[in-house]
Structure 1
């Protein structure tokens, strides 16, 4: 029977010789040197093995530096975000100062141009302020010249005709003066003397007239836009 057969068993405590255990070919030194030539290079040149740790340290330092720049916290543990905020505020304030400076320069240039333009307008007003007045006086001058020419060439000129021509010329002059605000100051006899508008040339005694009144007008006065241009020259009763 099968139970009667003796089955040999290996001893359990028997040690295995590691040196006699066959390894796969891929772990052998011959195959590794052929398939991986870098192994031979590292094996032959020991400087490559020495340089490898240095390369690793440099790479690690670069990574740490880039991390430190990107991190808002410096080596001392302080937060750099406050510094960034201050720099941002500083740049904004600097930009505002530049804008205000440009505005001030522009305003200064505008004021200088305005001053020059005003001075030029005042100068032109002094030079050409009488343009209209002169244009109104020219017809009066033309009329006077025609009257003088007629009286010179025609010996038989009528006095009444000359008087009428002079009256028309005088009327033209009066109209021209009124257009520019010129008014006559021509007091009548018996009017009270007004030192604001009249100038007493002499004093005359007259018992029949009231003292302090005007006896005679020697020369008319004129107002220019309500301001006295020339007082009327009169004789006052004492």
Structure 2
């Protein structure tokens, strides 16, 4: 009040009433007193309310913008989830926030601030949900990593098997192609060997022609050697049905039974694979009478005919 006076006893003096006549004796002034107990109670409630509002504002100031009221629609929830996923690696930031929450929570319980306690408990529940989501995400990621490793191992094994199979097929195709080419050249080898056996050059001109043919034949033989073509061993060797083809059997005083005594046509090997079996004559062992050993002239081809060396 503008006209009131503040007295030392904490009382207020009401202003005097104006009257038309002033008495000779002044009237006593009424006193409007306030109890110190009531005023201190009002001051205490006011300070408690102010302290509560300050704690609430202090609590809210410790919360990050994304820690406020939960989103009310699915779009905001998805946006918040994306932000949380992008900040999942910031572990050092969550620990101070949790400590701050616990500190505010203790103060709120001590002061009986139920509103702040509820807010802190809601925030702790949100953090617990975030933790559970992160645990599930880590478990799912670990399972995906394990599954990815297993798939990688299987793919690597399949790739190695495919590479080995491709290499094997490539070698098989190459070998088959070589076999076809060399088999087509074998009749030419036979003809050169027969020509050398039966043609006997007499004049210088015939000798020159024969030398030219033999030079070509020698070049062909060298080419076949470079392709790992080898002759099937025959005379003096035991008969092997996987390498030899028996076209005749004959008694022999020189060779035991089952030994090849003559080569009729040469056989060839490509590496370790048979190209053509050798046609041979096999001994049946010595007879009751001595039989002359077959000579080279009795065979279609000499046992040591020119060609690919044994």
TM-score for the superposition, normalised by structure 2: 0.39
Query: Which of structures 1 and 2 has the bigger CA Rg?
Result: 1
TM-score for the superposition, normalised by structure 1: 0.48
